[in-house]
Structure 1
Amino acid sequence: MISGVDVKSFDPAVRLQDDFYAYINGRWARSTQIPASKARWGTYDELRETAALQVRAILEDVLKNPGAAGSETRKIADLYTTFIDDKARNARGFAPLAPEFERIAAAKRHQDLAPLIAELERQGVTVPFDVFVGQDAQNAERYVVYAAQSGLGLPDRDYYLNDTDKKLMAVRQAYLQHITKLFTMQGDTQAERRAADVLAVETRLAQLQWTRVESREALKTYNPRTVAQLAEEAPGLDWAAYLRAAGIEGKAKSLVVRQPSYFVGLSKLVPEVPLEQWQSYFKWHVLAAYAPYLARDVADERFAFTGTVLRGVPENEPPWRQAQQFVDSIMGEAVGKLYVARHFPPENKARVLAMVNNFLATFREGIDELEWMSPATKKEAQAKLALFTPKIGYPDVWRDYSALTTSSTDLIANVRAGRRHAFDRGIAKLGKPVDRGEWGFTPQTVNASYSPLQNAITFPAALLQPPFFDVKAEDAINYGTVGTSIGHEISHGFDDQGSRYDGHGNLRNWWTAEDRAAFTARANGLVQQYSAFSPVPGYFVNGQFTLGENIGDNSGVTIAYKAYRKSLGGKPSPVIDGLTGEQRLYIGWAVKFRTLQREEAAIVQLKSDPHSPGEFRVKGTLANQAGFYEAFDIKPGDRMYRPPEQRVKLW
């Protein structure tokens, strides 16, 4: 067995007891540059690049032999070839968007906006609210319609409302210029006025919106309303017309409204804002949604803002990668089926599943050992854990794309068809049994997840390859990389929001009041720890917004350590390359999150991403791990040291 550890990346100029992240990743950081087409670069990004090249080879084979008309491979080929056909894209200009522009111009009354919103939403265009179908959080055996705030073109409400942060204000000004330019390129003679209209409308929407911290609270965002109640609370929109145009009428008698006050405010805003401003707003978001698929100069202008201004990325992805991402967005599971056949051998699934079972057993033991939880709540926690469902590699039943029609010549038609197919597929779930085997990821996705409504953890095939998972490496490094991900996702079932759901996926309080108070007090310790981290001068991690992920990290590493020790069967860990198994596990954690990131992208992450930046995922977590102190002899006086009474342990 190889260790799986690249000791050449270690930086001997740094004491690991003072900065473990810099010690493990220092040489790598100095010798690595962020690729010109990336906002960040690190272990996850390297693996995503590997998966992208694997998929590229698959798509090249599909293009050589696309198969019969109507087959999945022919549809994949249609999507890819129309995307990379620059000659056709450039020749058509903005003409393909004429139906959308005419529909917007045809709105003569504020009452006409509701069906317009529904039609644009079916096409993936940003509108003031999102409507989607998901499991009912209080009856997870049925589907229900959810309604949530939306409507902004910038990453977060802070970009509109903060008038003291010069960086955010500069982005806002650049956004106004970008809107003006795209309107001008489209030939609109009122480009400046329209751009001002758009920013004015979006600013008013931002003023109504809940913060991201508020919007992640499971109890606050579950607010059932009958259609009649919604029409009474928010009469400014014609809800009957909206539901009819969205294909929902008659299929749902109620909706779950995630941010009720937003919809009440929006109801008042709709008739207050002049119709011409709404038309500018909707026209802009049609342009923004379709710009990446129009003529190349239009796509380039869109990237100049979303890529360069927002995230500091100098260059767009090469055309093949953009085309691949487009195909994935429309027919991801069809590509995934081909990916699994080529890149995910059965032994990978078997070994990961064995690890998952070991982690579940370890978590089960950990619940029994908790000193702060009562027997009654422990019993409920064990019942939830017993119902966990692991999804490894790929779904048991593949998604059906037979209803999707594609064109071999018309890219915009393919964009419309793909987005409508996805929206309508969601609406078609209403009234049907819940499909607990459904996946939220494609197999070629490098990521993992926990679904509280399905009580399921998901690990796609692309994640389960080096450097995250190496069947040739000794277990310790795998426990530090993919193992900590397994522990992390299990822990999400018991984080500050996941713990609101029971094992069947229902929002139900299975805690005693005393136990919830003890849990919250410990979780608040993590909020304080992470809120002190500053990745960019003047910007701090939002410890409350990132709490769920930070609980997942801290608990996941704790479980990984215990599970690894459990796997040894009482024997000492093997020493390889001069490192014990316990040391290799923690090294795997540090390598997993090594990251270089552009400053602009880091600010976007802090404002919109519930994950802490990689450096602080490593250092913040390890400073709470008793096993880490033992493995590397961390003592008082070391910068990585935190007194025992200040270390946070939840699970």
Structure 2
Amino acid sequence: MTKTYNKIILCGAVLTTMALSAYIAKPNDPVFDNLDQSVSPGADFFKYANGGWLKRNPIPAAYSSWGIGNVVSEELRDRLKKINEDALAANAPKGTTTQKIGDFYFTGLDTVNIEKRGIDPLKAQLALIDQANDVPSILNAAAVLSTTGTRNVFGARVGQDAKNSAKMILQLGQAGLGLPNRDYYFKTDARTVKIRTDYTTNHLPTMLKLTGYDEQQAKAGAESIYRIEKFLADSSRKLEKLRDPYANYHKMTLAQLNALTPDVNWNTVFKAMELKPVDSVIVGQPEYYRALNTALKTFAAGDWKAYLRWKLIASYSPYLTKAVDDESFRFGGKVISGRKEQLPRWKRVLDTENGLMGEALGFLFVKEYFPVTAKRRYTDMVEAIRQAYREHIAKLDWMTPETKQKALVKLNAIHPKVGYPDKWKDFSTLVMDRESYAGNVMRARHWAYLVNINKLGKPVDHTEWGMTPQTYNASYSPSNNEITLPAAQFTIPGVKDSEVDDAVAYGYVAASTIGHEITHGFDDEGRQFDAKGNLKTWWTPTDSVRFTKRANMLADQFSSYVVLDSLHVNGKASLGENIADLGGIVLGIDAFKKTKQYKEGKLINGLTPMQRFFLGYALGWLGQERDEALANQILTDVHAPGFLRVNGPFSDVPEFYEAFHIKKGDKMWLDPAKRVKIW
């Protein structure tokens, strides 16, 4: 009993004789096995919960971060590798999914052929760029390149009209940059300056030389590219400004769009982009397109040719020769993310295939790896969270009855997609062969592009999934008012779903995923959409003021956290995610309190059910990042770092203080007056 006693004292549980009789020893415990017993829960709960695992699992050289998502991905890759190897050996009939998977995998691994072909797969695109000598031909080249996945000055896609969610409409957003976002062009801290210097004096010239430019052309071209990008960046919005749905909604007729940018003939551009006739468009950031119009007149055709060559080679670098791929990784993988080496080639090929044909792989994946019992468990959990949310709304002391009623209508209308689609994507028109890896990628990108733009003017397909079943992630769609919960998101590495107790499952899934995504429908951005997914005011002014006051408290709380050097969390940019985290936790707690495990109160490995709930939640953010990746995340990501997604919201939750006996003077302690309660 000595070992058990030590475990129990560490967790703050005081055992009576009766409690000891209810103690359960659980082997292969996904939360107890991760503990760092040298850290107090009140000092740093993230390290207490995950520190043991982190000490045993340093970041591998090929990664910029390492955590539970990576371990799940490794398991998934092994399973997908078997699917691909079986397809490779199947000699399947042409046109079948198995043939397409096998041929794609074959070309990705065929490095001899890749080296032999050099940059020939881009020959037609490079010729198109070389022939562009004026504004119309530059725009034509940019438009054509965008149809096969080369991102450049046009941020175009077809999506739901935010104010009329039943309509699919063309949307234009800011684009055109080569560095991760606009702040990289202007920040003056040493870390960002070092990245910018490498980009302009090393990376850009090297990549241009790999397209065929000589030394002088490459140096001049790099200078031109940077001037164009910085000019566009100056009229690009900051991360937090992109989160206001009203401020990023500007619906225009085609005539109004042409008037906004008089040097861009959008009729011609849209035709080159293979679009059907366009009568109206939503422009997210008009100032960006005004700047683009000016840039087209300011910079010479030669400048734009260098820019488009750069965009093309950057877009296809992972699928070309080792020299191109290595330089792309040196800058993007090492300088930006801090990785030390590339992943093995087979893993990179699988990741690419997953991005292009993920649902084809997913169909084969779920048949073998996601049982019906798991789908049922998490479908039921969605409803448990929904019921907890209903009860929370009813008890809110800051929301008026009028808005409560509308909130309940929206909550009840949320549609959950759990595990995998009921209707799978049709890949029958996608052509794959064994000739060229870059060629296969190009065709797959064009196929996906056509799938997107052919939605223009058609009814919204609510059966379509935006994620594959084997994706370790989840999402909420404001326009569809739906949550998507892929099968892989429920995975705990090395543990069968049937072996995961409810306490851990409710923390790991119900709180950090299901409750989180449902709360996104009521965060600072999602709350502005109604039950049908339309951007529409449905709150009373009083309710909006009260909500905003509480939300601003949370933004201030997170902005106070210093992450690295002088870098703070951007509390405004990450506000939606932080609201969703906090909401998910409190909803998960109340849903869990209704379970048999919570009511019985039995200890497992010295941990109470509520302690295991919080540890289950922390398990969802198990991981660590290199400094380079952490700095990049602060500047470019609306999510706070994982350790703060645990420690931050836990400091606002009363049950956390009770479960781990957090007291004043502990680092995790937050004065009651400063604790945020929204939902």
Tell me whether the two structures share a fold, i.e. TM-score over 0.5.
yes
Structure 2 residue 198 is matched with structure 1 residue 174? yes
The one of 156, 168, 184 aligned to 2:209: 184
SS in 2 for 1:535: strand
Letter in 2 for 1:621: P
What is the aligned partner in structure 2 of residue 539 from structure 1?
A: 567
Bigger shift: 48-57 or 23-32? 23-32
What is the aligned partner in structure 2 of residue 51 from structure 1?
A: 76
Which string of whole-angstrom CA distances, capped at 9 and with x for unpartnered residues, describes residues 251-279 of structure 1? x3101101111112211221111111011
What is the aligned partner in structure 1 of residue 498 from structure 2?
A: 471
CA distance in 2, matches of 1:490, 1:620: 19
Letter in 1 for 2:500: A
SS in 2 for 1:102: helix
What is the aligned partner in structure 1 of residue 258 from structure 2?
A: 231
Structure 2 residue 451 is matched with structure 1 residue 425? yes
What is the aligned partner in structure 1 of residue 642 from structure 2?
A: 614
Letter in 1 for 2:35: F
Which string of whole-angstrom CA distances, capped at 9 and with x for unpartnered residues, describes residues 354-376 of structure 1? 11110001101111111000000
Bigger shift: 582-591 or 541-550? 582-591
What is the aligned partner in structure 2 of residue 564 from structure 1?
A: 592
Letter in 1 for 2:101: I
Which string of whole-angstrom CA distances, capped at 9 and with x for unpartnered residues, describes residues 573-632 of structure 1? 332222111110001122221221111111111111111001111110100001111111
Q: Contact 2:228–2:295 at 8 Å: present in 1 too?
A: no
The one of 173, 185, 188 aligned to 1:148: 173
For the aligned residues, what is the CA RMSD?
1.5
Letter in 1 for 2:134: R
Structure 2 residue 241 is matched with structure 1 residue 214? yes
Shift in Å, 1:569: 9.4
TM-score (norm 1): 0.97
CA distance in 2, matches of 1:185, 1:451: 41
Structure 2 residue 515 is matched with structure 1 residue 491? no
CA distance in 1, matches of 2:431, 2:37: 58
What is the aligned partner in structure 2 of residue 357 from structure 1?
A: 383
What is the aligned partner in structure 1 of residue 460 from structure 2?
A: 434
Taking the TM superposition and a 5 Å limit, the aligned residue runs for 1:318-467 are 318-467=344-493
SS in 1 for 2:88: helix
Taking the TM superposition and a 5 Å limit, the aligned residue runs for 1:256-335 are 256-335=282-361
CA distance in 1, matches of 2:489, 2:536: 32
The one of 576, 580, 601 aligned to 1:552: 580
Q: Contact 2:133–2:302 at 8 Å: present in 1 too?
A: no
What is the aligned partner in structure 1 of residue 269 from structure 2?
A: 242
Q: Contact 1:449–1:489 at 8 Å: present in 2 too?
A: yes
The one of 165, 173, 191 aligned to 2:189: 165
Structure 2 residue 164 is matched with structure 1 residue 139? yes
The one of 500, 503, 513 aligned to 2:531: 503
Shift in Å, 1:77: 1.3
CA distance in 2, matches of 1:268, 1:45: 44
Q: Contact 1:79–1:326 at 8 Å: present in 2 too?
A: no
The alpha-carbon distance between structure 1 residues 58 and 153, as it changes in their structure 2 partners (threshold 3 A), is same
CA distance in 1, matches of 2:102, 2:35: 45
SS in 1 for 2:281: strand
CA distance in 2, matches of 1:598, 1:289: 25
The alpha-carbon distance between structure 1 residues 458 and 256, as it changes in their structure 2 partners (threshold 3 A), is same
Bigger shift: 614-623 or 405-414? 405-414
Letter in 1 for 2:41: L
Shift in Å, 1:123: 1.2
Q: Contact 1:5–1:584 at 8 Å: present in 2 too?
A: no
The one of 104, 121, 127 aligned to 2:152: 127
Shift in Å, 1:350: 0.3
The one of 194, 202, 207 aligned to 2:229: 202
The one of 503, 513, 518 aligned to 2:541: 513
SS in 1 for 2:334: helix
CA distance in 2, matches of 1:217, 1:574: 46
Which string of whole-angstrom CA distances, capped at 9 and with x for unpartnered residues, describes residues 625-645 of structure 1? 011111112222222111221
CA distance in 1, matches of 2:181, 2:483: 28
Letter in 2 for 1:154: L
SS in 1 for 2:594: helix
Instruction: List structure 1 runs of 4+ shifted beyond 3 angstroms.
Output: 1-6
CA distance in 2, matches of 1:184, 1:522: 53
Shift in Å, 1:83: 1.2
The alpha-carbon distance between structure 1 residues 66 and 138, as it changes in their structure 2 partners (threshold 3 A), is farther
CA distance in 1, matches of 2:67, 2:427: 34
Shift in Å, 1:5: 4.2
The alpha-carbon distance between structure 1 residues 345 and 198, as it changes in their structure 2 partners (threshold 3 A), is same
Shift in Å, 1:400: 0.8
Which string of whole-angstrom CA distances, capped at 9 and with x for unpartnered residues, describes residues 450-504 of structure 1? 1111111111111122249832122000011011111100100000000010111
What is the aligned partner in structure 2 of residue 582 from structure 1?
A: 610
Letter in 2 for 1:598: R
CA distance in 2, matches of 1:543, 1:198: 32
Which string of whole-angstrom CA distances, capped at 9 and with x for unpartnered residues, describes residues 220-269 of structure 1? 1111011110001111212111111112242x310110111111221122
SS in 2 for 1:108: coil
Unaligned 5+ segments in structure 2 are 1-23
CA distance in 1, matches of 2:172, 2:486: 28
SS in 2 for 1:133: strand
Q: Contact 1:39–1:311 at 8 Å: present in 2 too?
A: yes
CA distance in 1, matches of 2:631, 2:558: 16
SS in 2 for 1:144: strand
The alpha-carbon distance between structure 1 residues 561 and 187, as it changes in their structure 2 partners (threshold 3 A), is same
What is the aligned partner in structure 1 of residue 12 from structure 2?
A: none
CA distance in 2, matches of 1:322, 1:222: 37
Letter in 1 for 2:135: H
Unaligned 5+ segments in structure 1 are none
CA distance in 1, matches of 2:162, 2:642: 31
Which string of whole-angstrom CA distances, capped at 9 and with x for unpartnered residues, describes residues 38-60 of structure 1? 11011222112211222112111
Q: Contact 1:372–1:518 at 8 Å: present in 2 too?
A: yes
CA distance in 1, matches of 2:441, 2:40: 53
Q: Contact 1:132–1:426 at 8 Å: present in 2 too?
A: yes
Structure 2 residue 122 is matched with structure 1 residue 97? yes
The one of 546, 553, 558 aligned to 1:530: 558
Q: Contact 1:80–1:326 at 8 Å: present in 2 too?
A: no
What is the aligned partner in structure 1 of residue 6 from structure 2?
A: none
Structure 2 residue 111 is matched with structure 1 residue 83? no
The alpha-carbon distance between structure 1 residues 569 and 192, as it changes in their structure 2 partners (threshold 3 A), is closer
Bigger shift: 52-61 or 516-525? 52-61
The alpha-carbon distance between structure 1 residues 7 and 649, as it changes in their structure 2 partners (threshold 3 A), is same
Q: Contact 2:382–2:416 at 8 Å: present in 1 too?
A: yes
How many residue pairs are counted as aligned between the two chains?
A: 649
CA distance in 2, matches of 1:572, 1:66: 56
The alpha-carbon distance between structure 1 residues 589 and 570, as it changes in their structure 2 partners (threshold 3 A), is closer
TM-score (norm 2): 0.93
CA distance in 2, matches of 1:567, 1:580: 14
SS in 1 for 2:249: coil
Q: Contact 1:114–1:239 at 8 Å: present in 2 too?
A: no
What is the aligned partner in structure 1 of residue 4 from structure 2?
A: none
Letter in 2 for 1:35: P
Instruction: State the identity %.
Output: 38
CA distance in 2, matches of 1:634, 1:298: 53
